[in-house]
């Protein structure tokens, strides 16, 4: 029978529930326990797919094509053996949608549909389904205790704890212990009030994770335990760390995994954290560094590119260097010369995915510089589409564009696809107002890599599987034109023969891909494409050590 660990947060948001929950899951997995994780989000959106990155940060995509909360990215990066799916993230909107659909079908036999029991029953059903086949399921409740939006989730957790019993469930509560500089001490009162708020809705935490900017004294630990009715050994102190990848070790040192296993009556091996130790040793002690200019339009909120940031960090460790990210606002780059200097001083350039025309001119300026000056370039999703358009315009002389930006463009190099192909098997596109029928490619899809391509050498495999999140495709009618001019098509989708990747044959390292490799990067070993990209940046830096200006630091 699956055992459940519920994770809640109090006092303030952004304490790091997702990272903490993922760290606990990594600890348990290191003991040989089969673990999965699920995120419950209180907002009314059905999923985060249509939400602005400025509000929500990155949309993480699972293998089965679900658009989910970015915390699922942490879950996959911290766990070795569990992949997330559409069952591992659901919102209030999705719950209410499901219940209302049942009501419209008459499933409730004309009864009055209410939050209790109908909404809470649907929540419990999904929680149980997400944990099937696992020893332990960690369930993270989004938001902060006391928020009206999360009350149905909290009530469902209360009911499940009664139904499961003490030996089958555990409640872990993350709180803030603020440091008051004027008083020169940490204050426990916010944590006490947060637990009081939990108790008011029928929930008593079994474990407290106390986040703080500074170390918390043992006296305060005892005080927290006394006033919250939590075992002293279950009050876990978690001060700020140099890296999130140290947190599993911090929790292990306080024997949190032992406490959980004892609570659930699990006989397991001691946690083996040697891989985490090896990773953090390199991460925190790298002697050399490279700078990657990331040119995007959401750079004011780095969480909008969270998986890319982590993939670059992983690749840095794989290459024993620190990767500094110089964020460049693509829209401002169009008019501010100082930002172009950031691009010129970088060791590599990366243009990530995105939607809409805003900032595309600045992105293509950065792409053009990387292409003409031999700077390593990695384009992802929109970063590939713009690389193709920039090349077609400036090398071939076409009036190329995407129908996403100009539906009447004379040269629709990028466009929505139809449901059919011509007799030659070539992709046909619409470039008029009827193209609203285009559909988004989501989730893991196989691609075939061209035999003599750099991309195939990097992956060391003729076929790969990577995740997608995009609606527009490269027009197959331009393949020969591009290849004749020196831009090689290095990958095609296995199912529809859509262009998946391009590269420049006369460039030190210029690769752009339609898929999102960042979603599958792991701290243990990184991702082959990012590893090769960072290696190219190291080589470029070494070659231009004498003539480069000091690089921008992140």
150 assigned binding-site residue: no
Establish whether 404 is an annotated binding residue: yes
Q: How far is Cα 138 from Cα 157, in angstroms, rounded to an integer? A: 12
- Would you say 147 is a known binding-site residue? yes
Annotation-wise, does 383 bind a ligand?
A: yes
Rounded to whole angstroms, the Cα distance separating 214 from 458 reads: 43
Q: Is 190 annotated as a binding residue?
A: yes
Q: What is the full DSSP assignment across 476-524?
A: GGGHHHHHHTTEEEEEEETTT--EEEEEETTSSSEEEESSBGGGG--TT
**Cβ-based neighbour number of residue 236 at 10 Å:** 23
Contact 174, 8 (CB under 8 A): yes
Q: Which residues are catalytic?
A: 381, 516, 518
Residue 17 marked ligand-binding = yes
446 annotated as ligand-binding: no
Is 495 labeled as ligand-binding? no
* Nearest-angstrom CA–CA distance, 511 and 463: 17
Q: Which two tokens stand for residue 282?
A: 């390199």
Q: Say if residue 385 carries a ligand binding annotation.
A: yes
CA angle 6, 12, 14 (to 5 degrees): 75
Q: Is 188 annotated as a binding residue?
A: yes
Residues with Cβ within 8 Å of 483's Cβ and at least 6 positions away in sequence, in order, are 489
Q: Any known ligand binding at 148?
A: yes
C-beta of residue 30 within 8 angstroms of C-beta of residue 273: yes
Length of the chain: 554
Say whether the peptide bond before residue 117 is cis (omega within 30 degrees of 0). Answer: yes
334 a known binding residue? no
**441 in a labelled binding site:** no
Biggest distance spanned by C-alpha atoms of the chain:
78
State yes or no: 484 annotated in a binding site: no
Q: Residue positions in the annotated binding site for UTP?
A: 13, 187-192, 223
Q: Residue positions in the annotated binding site?
A: 13-19, 71, 140, 147-149, 187-192, 223, 241, 354, 382-385, 404, 471
Q: Residue positions in the annotated binding site for CTP?
A: 13, 147-149, 187-192, 223
Q: Residue positions in the annotated binding site for ATP?
A: 14-19, 71, 241
Q: Residue positions in the annotated binding site for L-glutamine?
A: 354, 382-385, 404, 471
């Amino acid at each position: 029978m699956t055992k459940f660990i519920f994770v809640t947060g109090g006092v303030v948001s952004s304490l790091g529930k997702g990272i903490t929950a993922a760290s606990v899951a990594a600890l348990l997995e290191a003991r040989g326990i089969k673990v999965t994780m699920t995120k419950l989000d209180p907002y009314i959106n059905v999923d985060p797919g249509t939400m602005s990155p400025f509000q929500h940060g990155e949309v993480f995509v699972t293998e089965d094509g679900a658009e989910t909360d970015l915390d699922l990215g942490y879950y996959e990066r911290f766990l070795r053996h569990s992949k997330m799916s559409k069952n591992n993230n659901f919102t209030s909107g999705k719950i209410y949608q499901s219940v209302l659909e049942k009501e419209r079908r008459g499933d409730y036999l004309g009864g009055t549909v209410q939050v209790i029991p109908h909404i809470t029953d649907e929540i419990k059903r999904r929680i149980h389904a997400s944990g099937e086949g696992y020893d332990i399921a960690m369930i993270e409740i989004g938001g902060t205790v006391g928020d009206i939006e999360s009350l149905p989730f909290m009530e469902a957790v209360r009911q499940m704890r009664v139904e499961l019993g003490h030996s089958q469930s555990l409640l872990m509560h993350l709180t803030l212990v603020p440091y008051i500089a004027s008083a020169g001490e940490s204050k426990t009162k916010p944590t006490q009030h947060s637990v009081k708020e939990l108790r008011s809705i029928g929930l008593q935490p079994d474990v407290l994770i106390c986040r703080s900017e500074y170390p918390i004294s043992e006296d305060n630990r005892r005080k927290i335990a006394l006033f919250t009715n939590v075992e002293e050994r279950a009050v876990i102190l978690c001060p700020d760390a140099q890296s999130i990848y140290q947190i599993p070790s911090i929790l292990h040192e306080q024997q949190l995994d032992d406490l959980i296993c004892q609570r659930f009556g699990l006989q397991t091996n001691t946690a083996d954290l040697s891989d985490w130790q090896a990773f953090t040793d390199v991460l925190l002690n790298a002697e050399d560094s490279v700078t990657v200019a990331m040119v995007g339009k959401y750079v004011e909120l780095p969480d909008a590119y969270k998986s890319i940031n982590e993939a670059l960090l992983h690749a840095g460790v794989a290459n024993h260097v620190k990767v500094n990210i110089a964020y460049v606002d693509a829209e401002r780059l169009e008019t501010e010369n100082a930002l172009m200097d950031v691009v010129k001083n970088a060791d590599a350039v990366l243009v990530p995915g995105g939607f809409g025309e805003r900032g595309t001119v600045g992105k293509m300026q950065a792409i053009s510089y990387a292409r003409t000056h031999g700077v390593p370039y990695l384009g992802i999703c929109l970063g590939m589409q713009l690389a193709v358009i920039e090349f077609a315009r400036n090398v071939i002389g076409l009036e190329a564009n995407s129908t996403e930006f100009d539906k009447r463009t004379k040269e629709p190099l990028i466009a929505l696809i139809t449901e059919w192909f011509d007799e030659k098997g070539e992709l046909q596109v619409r470039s008029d107002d009827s193209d609203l029928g285009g559909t988004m490619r989501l989730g893991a899809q196989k691609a075939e890599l061209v035999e003599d391509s750099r991309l195939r050498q990097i992956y060391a495999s003729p076929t790969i599987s990577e995740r997608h999140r995009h609606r527009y495709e490269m027009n197959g009618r331009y393949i020969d034109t591009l290849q004749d001019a020196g831009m090689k098509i290095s990958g095609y989708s296995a199912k529809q023969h859509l262009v998946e990747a391009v590269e420049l044959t006369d460039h030190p390292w210029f690769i752009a891909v339609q898929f999102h490799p960042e979603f599958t990067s792991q701290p243990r070993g990184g991702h082959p494409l990012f590893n090769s990209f960072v290696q190219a940046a190291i080589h470029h830096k070494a070659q231009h050590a004498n003539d480069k200006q000091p690089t921008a630091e992140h």
